Amino acid sequence: MSLLELSKVSKAFNGSPVLCDVDLCIARGEFVAIVGFSGAGKTTLISLIAGLLRPDSGEVRLEGRPVTGPGPDRGIVFQNYSLLPWLTVYENIALAVDQVNPAWDATRRREQVERHIAMVNLTPARDKKPSELSGGMRQRVSVARALAMDPQILLLDEPLGALDALTRATLQDEISRIREETHKTVVLITNDPDEGIYLADRIIPLTAGPGATLGPSFTIDIPRPRNRKEINHDPHFKQLRRDVTEFLLASRHRPHATVTRKLVLPDIEPEDLNLPRSPQGGRRLPRRSHEIREEKVEIE
């Protein structure tokens, strides 16, 4: 039985559809990447899974039970850094641990926090405030906080979207390593097909909105551990990347929006000085052109 199941999930905001009939099954222990354009509805999708939003129709089920609200069994790393800025790294994670495990004694809770800070290599920064950390470090804290709740499933909403390429690569490897260590079920939202293919077991494109839905699921049969350099020459990787990208581009079914703008040219044409001057006017005189031309501008 699948751990997470979405059936015919639809969501609209103020009457405009964002997601239409989304079906998704994720087995326990799977790492699934969902890739789509920005604005397609990726955050909406993950919020539905997290229970922060309720679907208009359809159902989200976790372990067969309908999801009715958010809960610590679905650890979520938000797209924006959502650490509480007045708490230190330790306190941010401790807030989650203390809340989720009220029955544990203080030592056990402290160990849980420390262990997860160490897991993301932030022990030296444990007493720093989020404002003193780089973007990459903040997202590591977010990941640690989500994992410290010991969730059934880890939801990552474009966790690396705001990071520079180098930090991004480092954190990708870190996510990969943590996943190997914890065997968590992971849903990774990304706008970068390469990232999804590099990290996940399966990659599913989300069509362009409005009314987006999930496309076919592409299984990634690249053995682990994967090597960032070698993977670029892997024919399977190249094929997947091409397929996913093509699917995404093709899903932008709408023609480009165009505006038609009238260009009014000056109502006069230059004198042709090569022609002989004639007293009747003729060719030499400036002519009214009465000409209005149109120009089409494509808007990306």
Residues that bind ligand ADP (CB under 6 A): 13-14, 18, 36, 38-44
Contact pick of 12, 25, 95, 162 for other proteins (by CB under 8 A): 95
40 binds, among ligand ADP, Mg ion, other proteins, none (CB under 5 to 8 A by kind): ligand ADP
218 binds, among Mg ion, other proteins, ligand ADP, none (CB under 5 to 8 A by kind): none
Torsion, Cα of 37, 39, 45, 51 (10° steps): 150
Distance CA 199, CA 220 (A): 9
Cβ 168 to ligand ADP, closest distance in Å?
18
248 binds, among other proteins, Mg ion, ligand ADP, none (CB under 5 to 8 A by kind): none
Torsion, Cα of 70, 71, 74, 77 (10° steps): 70
Distance CA 250, CA 238 (A): 18
Q: Which DSSP helix (H) or strand (E) runs through 293? A: strand 292-299
Contact pick of 38, 80, 121, 182 for other proteins (by CB under 8 A): 80
Contact pick of 18, 40, 67, 76 for other proteins (by CB under 8 A): 76
Give the dihedral sign, CA 232/236/239/241. Answer: negative
Choices 80-88, 117-125, 173-181, 229-237; region in contact with other proteins by CB under 8 A? 80-88
**Cβ(207)–Cβ(40) under 8 Å?**
yes
Distance CA 289, CA 118 (A): 77
Side-chain half-sphere exposure of 217, counting CA atoms within 13 A: 14
What is the DSSP secondary structure assignment for residue 14, as one 8-state letter? Answer: T
Establish if 100 lies at the interface with other proteins (CB under 8 A).
Answer: yes
Establish if 71 lies at the interface with other proteins (CB under 8 A).
Answer: yes
Establish if 50 lies at the interface with other proteins (CB under 8 A).
Answer: yes
Distance CA 35, CA 198 (A): 12
Establish if 43 lies at the interface with Mg ion (CB under 5 A).
Answer: yes
In the block, residue with structure tokens 């890739």: 35
113 binds, among Mg ion, ligand ADP, other proteins, none (CB under 5 to 8 A by kind): none
Torsion, Cα of 241, 246, 249, 254 (10° steps): -160
Cβ 38 to Mg ion, closest distance in Å?
7
Cβ 73 to ligand ADP, closest distance in Å?
22
104/247 with CB nearer other proteins: 104
**Cβ(72)–Cβ(99) under 8 Å?**
yes
Contact map string, positions 74 to 93, toward Mg ion, x by CB under 5 A? -----x--------------
Q: Which DSSP helix (H) or strand (E) runs through 119? A: helix 106-119
Choices 69-77, 161-169, 206-214, 258-266; region in contact with other proteins by CB under 8 A? 69-77
Binding site for Mg ion (CB under 5 A): 42-43, 79
Binding site for other proteins (CB under 8 A): 50, 52, 69-72, 74-76, 78, 80-82, 84-86, 95-96, 99-100, 129, 131, 149
